[in-house]
Each structure stands twice: as structure tokens, then as C-alpha cells.
Structure 1
Amino acid sequence: MFGAKLFPFWDQQIVNLGLIAFLALSLGLGLALVQEWQARRYQRQIALFIAKLKRIQAEDNMGGHILLAPSDPMAPLAAALNETQHVSRLRLKQLQQQASTLAALVDNMPLGVMRIKPDHTLVEMNAQASQLLNITQPKPGESYDNVLKNHALVAMLNRALTEQKNSRKTVQVDRVKLDVSVVYYQLRPRHYEALVLLYDMTEISQLQAMQADFVTNASHELRTPLTAIAGFTETLLSGAQEDSALRAEFLHIIQDESQRLLALTQDILTLAKSPMQERHLAPVAIKPLVDEVLTSHKDMLAEQKISVDIQVPSDLALVQDKSDLKRLLINLIGNAIKYNRLGGRVTIKADHTEKVDTLIIEDTGRGIPSDEQGRIFERFYRIDKSRNQRIPGTGLGLAIVHDLVKELGGQVLLDSQVGVGTKVTIQLPTTVIKDIRNGED
């Protein structure tokens, strides 16, 4: 009786224990599944974070932000990565802008620029450097030994890299004179490069040479009349003044040399006149100005029996500095008379079109040989000085004409034939004159 009651009790206990065991197993399994899911979730997030960091490090397309719920344990890390991405984007954009600005500056600056490595690798070369060195743009990574054609330049670069120091030297490349500077610098620890700067000194050197020649020629030309004046004056003071005929001859020579010295000084001052010097602009009637210049040459015209044909409209006026225009006409008309033949003719023309104002001085003189026409506008240059020794002049007249017309934005054209004559044409852009007129109104 007692056993019958006892067995159902134990059966119930066994059932309960089984239920508890099942629940415990289910709970454990559930927890295991939750932990596995959580671990996989964390792994995915960490993989996402790592991928994001790699993109930031590689400055690649960084994509959007990582979005996590505020309660997510990884939310602070995601926020830090998002902030890092934002800062990296800003810095990358700034670097790209700086790189673009630097590239534009290097490509358009008037300096030739090259970057080279100690192993002679040519890292970079801008367009100006290619032009100055007269070579095609090389491929990246080429050796400058194979690219550069100038041995002196290659030797200079080799020496600078070997000695690991800055250097500077003038190098002649074809017809271009280059000031070459090599700047040796540290790119990063134990890594060095050299920056090569090429500056075209050709024009400056030519100007310096012209200035030196000008000073030498001016000194010589000034010395000649001064020597003559001093010599004949000394002779007169030594007793030659007692001879009236000799005295008169010497005084005439002194007068001629003094006028030559005065003309030479005036021409030198005209050439030294700064282009920025203020000019007095006003309408200048060309016909009366031509008459005025011809009047100053009336004795020479009469002596050589030169006829003048003036083809200048009476109403033609140019708004310019009158002294400049007068200087142009004095030199051109003076040359047309001096180098003309006896009984020759000087023709003076002026014309106006929509774009160009033209002034032409034409003579029937001895003409200029073709091989000398290219030098006729050089300072102190005179054709066949031995033959023209008796013709007064400084050799600066056409140089003055050339410089003045250039300042006015125009050009001088020369057409000459030996034994036939010479025609000099001055062309001034009408637009420049119109602008000046508008400024005066």
C-alpha cells in the first residue's frame, strides 16, 4: 500500500527533473546561440572597422559613415572612426588643392624645374624645362643621363649629387644661356632628392652686352669731337691765331665738331629717355610739323639741290608727344637728305586707315646693301664708315627711330636697293591713338 503511493511520487520527481534538465539545456543552448550571434556581429563590425581604417589609410573612396545604435557597445568606436574619416577627408581635400595649385604653378612659372634622385632617376620635369633644354617630355623614371643632351649640364648634376650639396652655374644650351641652380634636400630620413632650377639668362646677357657696347661706342664717339676741339684750340693758342685764314679754318672745324658733340649728346639723352617718363599728349598736325623739320634742313637741301614732294593730308593729326614725332621726322628726313644723290628727291607721305596710321619717308639716294639692312637700327652703326666719313651723323638716328616707334606700339619697315634709294615706313596702330584720344576727351 505504501509502495503504491511512493512510486507515483518518484515518477513525478523524475518528470520534474527531466523538465528542469531540458529547460537548463535549452537555456544553455540559447545562451550559446546568442553568444555566437553576438560574436559574429562583433566580428562583422570589427571587419567593417578594419576595412574603414584601410580605406582611410589608403586615402581611397571612404564611403559613408558607420551607423550604430547609441546603446551598441561599439558605438563609441564607430563614432571615433567616423570623426577620423571626416578629418581625413578634409586633409585629403586640402592636400589635393595644394597639389593642384603647386602643379599649376610649376607648369606655368617662367623657370624650368626638374626633380632628380641620387640614382640619376628623373622624377619630374615641367614644360618650361623641356622647352629650355630643347627636348621632348621624358617618361617618368628615365635616367637624366639618357634624356639630357648637354654634357656640361649632366656633369654639373652628377657633381652635385656626388658631393651632396647645392651648386649654381651658367650653362650654354644651344643658343640659350641658362642659370642653373641645384638644391639638394632631404625628402625623409635617409632619402634625398635634388631640385634643379633653370632660368633663361639669354635676354639679360644680350642686354648687358648691348649696354657695354653702348658705353664703349659712346665713349669713342664722344672722344673724337672732344679730341678735335682740344687739338685745334691748343694749336690756336700756340700761335696759329695770328694767321687769319688758318684761324678761320680752325674755328669752323671747332664749330662743326661742337655741333657734332651737341647732336651726339642729344641723341644719347634721347636713347636714355625712360619709356615710363611722362609724355605730353596733344593733337599734332603732321603737315606743319613736316614743314618745320624741312625748314631746319633748308641749307642742306639747297646745297645738294634736293627736291621735296610732300604728300601729307593737311587735316591729318596724331595725338602724341610732339617732341617724339619731331625726333622721328628729324632723323628720317635728315637721313633721306644726307644720303641722297646730288639733285635727288625726298618724298614724304602720310596715310590713315581703320587700323594703321602710316608715315613714309622715301629718297633716291645710294641705298643700303642687303647684307647690312639687318644692322641698320643698331646703335652707332654706320654703313661703310670710310665712304661716309664726310657725312655728318652720330650713328644713333635710326636706333632712336626704332626705339620710339616700338614704345608707341608700332613697327618700322625698311625697303632699300643700292643705287635706287631707300624707303622707311612707320606704322602706328590706330587703336592706340584712339585710346589716347578718348583719354584726352
Structure 2
Amino acid sequence: MFWLRSIILYFFIAVIAFAISAFTDILWGFVFALVMLSITICYHLINLNRLNQWLKHPDVDTVPGSMMLWQDVFDQLYEQVRSQKKSKDRLANTLDRFLSAAEALPDGVVILDEYDRIEWCNPASQIHLGLNRKTDSGQQITNLLRHPALREYLKEQDFSHPVTLRTMRPQEQVLSVQMIPFDSTRKLLLSRDITQLDRVQTVHRDFVANVSHELRTPLTVVGGFIETMIDMPHIDAPTREQHMQLMYEQTQRMQRLVDDLLTLSKLENGQQLKEEEVDIPQLLQLLRIEAEGLSQGRHSISIESIARQRLIGNHDELHSALGNLVSNAVRYTPAGGQIMLSWQMRGDEACFVVKDTGIGIAPEHVPRLTERFYRVDRGRSRNTGGTGLGLAIVKHILHRHQAVMAVESRLGEGSEFAVKFPTQRVLE
């Protein structure tokens, strides 16, 4: 259609030129044709110039307009430019969404070129690896991360598995880092913070080791006595009775350990807390009676300043947690010492307080008291029947009641364990 319209235009010019030549003189026909061709050439040159000027600063809103053939050209050019602009906008939006998604990732993402130089990195990678997007762009990654494990990882070129890096900036951190090539030259360096997972795995390993250690001794004792009784079937009655008593004590120790493990597992499973109104004065009286039974008259046990209050919580769990604190005070207070139980207001907080005149705890041990199987004195704890899980259970129960425990102690002078409950749980 485009060429047909051009041919028709020049055909009409030729016809008119021949007509003028036929009716007048051939010279006038030639002049007419020459003038029309000159006008056409000027028309094309003007539009070519407009196109050339537009190409220097192409924009969809400034596409030139014209007439006839050039209008068709400019219309097609406008459609193509508008289509390209839409495609460019879509690509830009897609890239923006990709960058936004990459920046929102909790994992670090670093784009490296073929020489391991940084092209781009997201905020998470700046936190994990200590990078700066503005100043470190173009820098080689190994010049900024001087970690032997990473250098060896890049040197081996085996990216089928991640490498674990332990860093100290700004604090101790464990990172899982993996390189992923994604085209012929570029690579992605992905980093993930696995500090918490590493701690959980460490706790799990320590937990298994501690449980095995705690069970080994009583099992060894029981197994040894059974073997002795098998090898010596005619052992005298007093010795047999002594052996049976020791085996009974060791099996009771294992039973307590298993019970505490089951209780701790139940609490950690996050079962819904069954709440009720707990009578605080009644609970303290019950704890005092249990403490006196455990003490067997070796201590002076008293209750101070009981506020007539009730607490919203689970009676059995609170009895277990607070009873554990009271029994610890009895176990670690020498004969003749004093143990005071109280429920008091400290500022806006209601507190259950156990205070004793026992052996006390050195300051370096206080932060770790609620760790599983942590003991200040392992030998003394086993002799008093402790499993090493009591305060860990207490911590979980208090957490379920939104309560916190504060410990004040001086070696040789005694200890004070204060459990602070939120005001919304306290009823007058």
C-alpha cells in the first residue's frame, strides 16, 4: 500500500506534465515536472531532518507529525516506540519487584562477576558479611572477607554444598554460605544466618550427652550389684540388704530423671495453659508444710507478709515451680539455717520470694542456673537427689505465666529467688 500510493503520486505528476506538453509546449511540461519533483524532494528532506532530530532525543511524546507518506512512517514509528516503552516499563517494574524482593530476603545475596568482584548486594548480605553496597562495588569479595574457609571454598570451585563461616562482627555469628553460578560469567553468593540453629544443635548434643552421663552412673551401679549377686548367690543377708537399698536409690534417681524429662518435654510442646484462680496464702502454707517435711526439723521455716491475693494461673504448674525453689533452699541450706517464704508487692509487681541463709551461689554461676543439667556443684547436687533439670522446668513454667525470676546470692551468705508476676494475673 505504501509503494502503491507513491507510484500513483508520481504517475499523476507525469500525466499532468504530458498534458501540459501536449496543450502548450514540451518545455512547460518539463518545468512542471521538475518543480513538482523539487517540491517532493524538499518535502522528503524536511521530514528526514525532523526524523534525524527526533532520533537524537527519542521520546514517545515527541514523535513528529506530517502528511501523506511520512505520516504513515511517523504513525508506525509512534506505535513501535510506544510498544517499546511499554515493554521497557514492564521490564523496569519487573526488575524493581525483583530488587525489592531480593532486598526483603532474610538471606544475604551478593552478585559477583567472573573475577569474583561485587556487582550488587542486598541489605541482609551487608549485615551478614559486613559489606557496603556503595563503597564495595567492584571490589573482590576475598579482599573484603578474609576468611580462610571462604578462600578455600572459592579455590576448590566445588559449589555443590555450602560452607560454614564463624564470624565475630558485630557479635558471634554462624553463617552458611554457598556460591551458585547462574550464567557463563556471574555467580550468586548466598549467606544464611544459622546462629540460632547452631545453638539449638549444640544444646541438643549437650542434652544427649548429659542424659547419657546422668544415666550411666546409676545403671553402672545397679548392673554391678546385679552381677555381684549373680556371681555370689549365697551372699549374706546384711550385704544383700545394703546392695538392694543402693539399687533402689539408684533406680529412684533414674525415675526422677525420667519424670523431669517428661515434664520438660510436655512444657516445651507448648500445650495450652489451663488457667484457674490460685489461692496464694493457701499455696504458701502448702509449700511450707512440704518444706518442713523435707527439712525434718533441721531448719527454721517461716512465712512472711502474706498479701490476701489470688493469682490467675495453673495451680499444679505453679506448685511444681515454686515448690522446686523451696526444696532447693532446703537442700542447700545447712542445718540450723533459716528459710523465709513470702508473697509481697515490689512496686507494681507481685512477687513470690524464697530467701535462705544457705551456702549461696558464686556470681559467675547465676546466669546459667536455668540451663539443663547445669550444676554449681555436681557432687553435692547428686547427693541431695537433684536431676539438674529443676530450674529448667521452673523457667518454662514461669514463661508460660509471663513471669520472670530474679536471683540475688552471695557465696556463704545465702540466696534470694524472687518470681515476679505481671499485674494482669493478680487478683485482690
Per-residue deviation, residues 169-209 of structure 1 (Å, max 9, x unmatched):
223334432222110121xxxx4111111122222122112
Structure 2 residue aligned with 1:147: 144
Structure 2 residue aligned with 1:411: 404
The answer to whether residue 277 in structure 2 is matched with residue 280 in structure 1 is no
Structure 2 residue aligned with 1:9: none
* Counterpart-to-counterpart distance in 2, 1:72 and 1:311: 104
Relative to 1, partners in 2 of residues 1:177 and 1:184: Cα closer, same or farther, differing over 3 Å? same
The answer to whether residue 287 in structure 2 is matched with residue 293 in structure 1 is yes
Per-residue deviation, residues 224-278 of structure 1 (Å, max 9, x unmatched):
33444455566678568863x5566555444443433322111111222234323
> Is residue 49–residue 81 contact of structure 1 (8 Å, CA) maintained in 2?
no
How far off its partner does 1:287 sit?
A: 2.6
Structure 2 residue aligned with 1:424: 417
> Is residue 240–residue 246 contact of structure 1 (8 Å, CA) maintained in 2?
no
Per-residue deviation, residues 273-297 of structure 1 (Å, max 9, x unmatched):
2343233222222332233333333
| Coordinate RMSD, CA, aligned | 3.4
Structure 2 residue aligned with 1:211: 204
2:143 partner amino acid: N
Relative to 1, partners in 2 of residues 1:298 and 1:152: Cα closer, same or farther, differing over 3 Å? same
Structure 1 residue aligned with 2:368: 375
Relative to 1, partners in 2 of residues 1:145 and 1:256: Cα closer, same or farther, differing over 3 Å? closer
> Is residue 290–residue 329 contact of structure 1 (8 Å, CA) maintained in 2?
no
Structure 1 residue aligned with 2:52: 47
Relative to 1, partners in 2 of residues 1:30 and 1:429: Cα closer, same or farther, differing over 3 Å? farther
Relative to 1, partners in 2 of residues 1:429 and 1:21: Cα closer, same or farther, differing over 3 Å? farther
Relative to 1, partners in 2 of residues 1:45 and 1:315: Cα closer, same or farther, differing over 3 Å? same
> Is residue 275–residue 407 contact of structure 1 (8 Å, CA) maintained in 2?
no
Structure 1 residue aligned with 2:395: 402
Q: Give the TM-score, by structure 1 length.
A: 0.78
Q: What is the correspondence of 1:96-175 to structure 2 with a 5 Å cutoff?
A: 96-137=92-133, 138-160=135-157, 166-174=160-168, 175=172
Per-residue deviation, residues 300-327 of structure 1 (Å, max 9, x unmatched):
2333223122434222312x23332222
How far off its partner does 1:397 sit?
A: 1.0
Of 72, 75, 91, 2:68 maps to 72
Stretches of structure 1 that go unaligned for 5 or more consecutive residues are: 1-18, 56-61
> Is residue 54–residue 64 contact of structure 2 (8 Å, CA) maintained in 1?
no
Tell me whether 415-424 or 280-289 shows the greater mean CA deviation: 280-289
2:277 partner amino acid: P
* Counterpart-to-counterpart distance in 2, 1:356 and 1:79: 79
> Is residue 113–residue 198 contact of structure 1 (8 Å, CA) maintained in 2?
yes
Relative to 1, partners in 2 of residues 1:39 and 1:91: Cα closer, same or farther, differing over 3 Å? closer
How far off its partner does 1:50 sit?
A: 3.3
Q: What is the correspondence of 1:334-413 to structure 2 with a 5 Å cutoff?
A: 334-351=327-344, 356-413=349-406
1:42 partner amino acid: N
Structure 1 residue aligned with 2:10: none
* Counterpart-to-counterpart distance in 2, 1:76 and 1:356: 84
* Counterpart-to-counterpart distance in 2, 1:116 and 1:231: 64
Relative to 1, partners in 2 of residues 1:67 and 1:264: Cα closer, same or farther, differing over 3 Å? same
Of 75, 82, 88, 2:78 maps to 82
1:283 partner amino acid: E
2:104 partner amino acid: N
